[in-house]
């Protein structure tokens, strides 16, 4: 095989020995090749049976038969061609290896069974197998229950000797934030090993040496930088072909879009904008607030370099603003003793009086939280304030960071704060953000940034555009 060595992440996945391992990355990053090679490594390392043969049995799974034949088997036979590893039995979709590898003093016998999951019968047949291990190609398409059964079907013995390794592996493009993998690998990990490759346009993107090569570059050594430069054109073309939402998944390897909506924070990159940090006691705490029966607040700071740091979120469900304000005051007292707290910035509608002639801001003041209205409630300005901060760099760092503890806000930024897809022919979306469990914290972030002057930056940018005229007065 004339392919470049695996990249650092794919290589670590290939060498890993965890019982369950998942590799996530963009298209073309070598995930499937690494999975093929890993199964071969486990087969080669299998304990030798009493008859002098190292036996293993593997199930390789794809969601549908067309995908299995056109993608999975095709990749497998490119890595392990029939003229070297024996004929592929297309009727049964089995590749049986029986040979003695060079340098070995014993034979190996490895059976690779390819299965699709088109109907209940296919699923039943798969789950009746007893194998050394499973490889789930494009894991995000596999239902969770199958993985649970798979973990209990890896009991294959080589004669009377247990397997050197058993378990399951999976490769996948990124998933949306409501997928079970978000729980099992990110929010509340089960202990499964997770390998995450960089996006295709990142400097350390993997497998570029094998992509989009010309006759000229194919003659160059694998470590020649011109091969990487040429390989990058694969992703440049993909960006032209994909929609913005699909590019997030397939090129940038970011957690993907939902099937029902179009993400609003298009500039957010979870690997770039989310990382741990702590706040500076010398700077005041700033709060963004969204009201209603699902109030949400975000707590952060604006640094001296102009970088926003969002440290905590406090989301309420079916709770009044007074009680939520009391919870917010208690939360800040516990988490940030000794910090100065600046006034919160909230939805300007909080200045409207209710039936008892009280405003939300008066109610919050009674709960111990001073809050003022944002300078505008124009959605396009609020949204661009956040996207602009995600897009901007300050001192070589993103101008807006979110702490991993802010899980609801992260999910909102990735794809859960979105424009709702309309029930009409074609991909058409509402021009207003969908109101859901994630929109409140997303809008609290908008109000926070407006309170810190990001709205003024949006209007300044618009004013510089030819023929533009601001429609709204920004005072903060």
Q: Which of 261, 312, 186 is nearest to 436 (CA)?
A: 261
Residue 475 pLDDT grade (very low, low, confident, very high; cuts 50, 70, 90): very low
Of the candidate ranges 11-25, 238-252, 413-427, 446-460, the one whose mean pLDDT is the lowest: 413-427
Share of the chain above pLDDT 90, in %: 63
Reported as a single tens digit per residue, the pLDDT across 269-288 is 888 999 999 999 999 999 99
pLDDT value for 163 = 83
Reported as a single tens digit per residue, the pLDDT across 371-407 is 999 988 899 899 999 999 999 999 999 999 999 999 9
Residue 451 pLDDT grade (very low, low, confident, very high; cuts 50, 70, 90): very high
pLDDT value for 360 = 87
pLDDT value for 258 = 59
Average pLDDT along the chain:
88
Assigned CATH for 270-463: 3.30.420.280
Of the candidate ranges 26-40, 80-94, 131-145, 175-189, the one whose mean pLDDT is the lowest: 175-189
Is residue 442 within 8 A of residue 413, CB to CB? The reply is: yes
Domain ranges for the chain? 8-200, 270-463
**Residue 427 to residue 422: CA distance in whole angstroms:** 8
Of the candidate ranges 64-73, 74-83, 204-213, 420-429, the one whose mean pLDDT is the lowest: 420-429
In this model, does residue 256 exceed pLDDT 80? no
Residue 183 pLDDT grade (very low, low, confident, very high; cuts 50, 70, 90): confident
In this model, does residue 243 exceed pLDDT 90? no
pLDDT value for 471 = 41
Q: List for the chain the helix, strand, coil content (%; round to 5).
A: 35, 20, 40
pLDDT value for 51 = 87
**Residue 375 to residue 337: CA distance in whole angstroms:** 30
**Mean pLDDT of the region 470-476:** 38
Of the candidate ranges 4-13, 99-108, 195-204, 457-466, the one whose mean pLDDT is the lowest: 457-466
In this model, does residue 355 exceed pLDDT 50? no
pLDDT value for 148 = 85
In this model, does residue 6 exceed pLDDT 80? yes
Alpha carbon 449 to its chain's center = 25
Share of the chain above pLDDT 70, in %: 91
H or E element: which one contains 37?
Answer: helix 31-44
Can you spell out the DSSP letters for 257-294? --SSEEES-TT--HHHHB------TTS-BEEEEE-SSS
In this model, does residue 71 exceed pLDDT 50? yes
Residue 308 pLDDT grade (very low, low, confident, very high; cuts 50, 70, 90): very high
**Mean pLDDT of the region 20-40:** 97
Fold of the domain spanning 8-200 = Rossmann fold (3.40.50)
pLDDT value for 389 = 95
User: Half-sphere exposure (CA, 13 Å, Cβ side) for 374?
Assistant: 31
pLDDT value for 476 = 34
């Amino acid at each position: 095989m004339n392919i470049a060595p695996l990249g650092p992440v794919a290589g670590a996945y290939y060498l890993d020995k965890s019982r369950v391992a998942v590799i996530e990355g963009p298209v073309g990053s070598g995930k499937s090749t690494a999975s093929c090679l890993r199964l071969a490594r486990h087969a080669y390392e299998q304990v030798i049976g009493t008859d002098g043969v190292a036996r293993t049995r593997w199930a390789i799974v794809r969601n549908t038969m067309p995908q299995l034949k056109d993608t999975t088997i095709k990749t497998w036979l490119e890595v392990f061609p029939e003229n070297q590893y024996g004929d592929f039995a297309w009727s049964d979709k089995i590749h049986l290896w029986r040979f003695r590898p060079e340098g070995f003093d014993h034979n190996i016998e490895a059976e690779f069974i390819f299965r699709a999951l088109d109907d209940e019968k296919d699923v039943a047949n798969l789950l009746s197998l007893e194998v050394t291990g499973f490889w789930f190609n494009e894991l995000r398409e596999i239902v969770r229950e199958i993985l649970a059964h798979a973990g209990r079907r890896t009991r294959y013995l080589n004669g009377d000797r247990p397997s050197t390794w058993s378990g399951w592996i999976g490769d996948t493009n990124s998933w949306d934030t409501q997928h079970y993998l978000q729980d099992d690998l990110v929010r509340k990990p089960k202990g499964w090993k997770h390998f995450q490759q960089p996006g295709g346009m990142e400097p350390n993107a993997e497998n570029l040496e094998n992509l989009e090569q010309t006759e000229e570059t194919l003659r160059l050594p694998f470590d020649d930088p011109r091969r990487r430069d040429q390989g990058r054109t694969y992703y440049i073309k993909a960006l032209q072909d994909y929609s913005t939402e699909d590019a997030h998944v397939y090129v940038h390897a970011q957690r993907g879009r939902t099937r029902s909506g179009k993400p609003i924070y298009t500039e957010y990159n979870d690997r770039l904008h989310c990382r741990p940090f702590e706040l500076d006691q010398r700077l005041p705490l700033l709060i963004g607030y969204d009201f209603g029966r699902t109030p949400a607040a975000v707590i952060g700071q604006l640094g001296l370099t102009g970088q926003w740091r969002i440290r905590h979120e406090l989301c309420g469900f079916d709770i009044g603003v007074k009680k939520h304000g009391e919870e917010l005051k208690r939360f800040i007292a516990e988490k940030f003793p000794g910090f100065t707290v600046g006034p919160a910035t909230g939805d300007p509608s909080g200045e409207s009086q209710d039936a008892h002639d009280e405003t939300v801001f008066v109610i919050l003041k009674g709960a111990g939280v001073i809050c003022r209205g944002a300078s505008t409630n124009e959605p396009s300005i609020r949204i661009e304030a956040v996207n602009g901060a995600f897009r901007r760099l300050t001192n070589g760092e993103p101008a807006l960071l979110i702490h991993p503890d802010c899980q609801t806000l992260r999910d909102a930024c990735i794809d859960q704060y979105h424009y709702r897809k309309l029930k009409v022919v074609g991909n058409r979306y509402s021009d207003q953000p969908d109101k859901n469990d994630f929109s409140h914290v997303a809008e609290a972030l908008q109000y926070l940034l407006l309170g810190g002057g990001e709205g003024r930056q949006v209007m300044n940018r618009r004013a510089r555009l030819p023929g533009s005229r601001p429609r709204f007065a920004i005072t903060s």
